[in-house]
């Protein structure tokens, strides 16, 4: 049963990724370059997370953990110490491929967390996870 759920989740993530790619990244070459650049900047653990779940965890200078999911809007979950989602954030460049948005968010959270939090729009936690 668990295997079927995992398989279904992977198919859902892949379908969501394909849909977003088709609608938000019409320039395939730019998308591929952005995806390659994102993967190069992920640690091995983050890369495994991203490949498996379509999201990866980032730790800011404050020690707070964030999960950046595949998307360009409201795609950052702020995690409690227990790993539950406290709330979600939205901030990033527009008009660029999704992997480039995710990379910009990662770099800002790791290097300039306070500045990122000042510009991010805060949203309540949603019942679903990436």
Place of tokens 């730019």: 30
Q: Do the domain assignments include residue 16?
A: yes
Q: Do the domain assignments include residue 81?
A: yes
Q: Do the domain assignments include residue 130?
A: no
Tokens of 43: 């640690």
Side-chain-facing half-sphere of 43: CA atoms under 13 Å? 9
**Distance, CA of 56 to CA of 46 (rounded, Å):** 5
Give the tens place of pLDDT for each residue, 36-75.
999 999 999 999 999 999 999 999 999 999 999 999 889 9
Pairing mode, strands 121-124 and 76-79: unpaired
Whole-Å CA distances, 29 to 15, 32, 65: 20, 5, 32
**Distance, CA of 76 to CA of 15 (rounded, Å):** 20
Q: Could you tell me the pLDDT band of residue 92, with boundaries at 50, 70 and 90?
A: confident
pLDDT above 90 covers a percentage of the chain that reads: 65
DSSP codes joined into one string, 19-47: HHHHHH---HHHHHHHHHHHHHHS-HHHH
- Which structural domain, as residue segments, surrounds residue 106? 2-124
Q: Do the domain assignments include residue 129?
A: no
Segment (H or E) for 59: strand 55-59
Domain count, the chain: 1
Q: Do the domain assignments include residue 75?
A: yes
Q: Do the domain assignments include residue 36?
A: yes
Q: Do the domain assignments include residue 73?
A: yes
């Amino acid at each position: 049963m668990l295997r079927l759920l995992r398989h279904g989740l992977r198919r859902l993530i892949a379908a969501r990724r394909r849909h977003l790619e088709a609608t938000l990244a019409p320039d395939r070459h730019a998308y591929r370059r952005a995806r390659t650049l994102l993967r190069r900047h992920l640690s091995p653990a983050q890369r495994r997370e991203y490949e498996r779940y379509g999201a990866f965890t980032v730790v800011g200078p404050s020690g707070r953990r964030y999960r950046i999911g595949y998307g360009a809007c409201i795609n950052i979950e702020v995690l409690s110490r227990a790993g539950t989602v406290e709330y979600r954030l939205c901030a990033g460049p527009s008009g660029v491929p999704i992997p480039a948005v995710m990379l910009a968010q990662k770099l800002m959270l790791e290097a300039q967390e306070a500045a990122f939090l000042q510009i991010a729009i805060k949203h309540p936690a949603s019942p679903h996870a990436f």
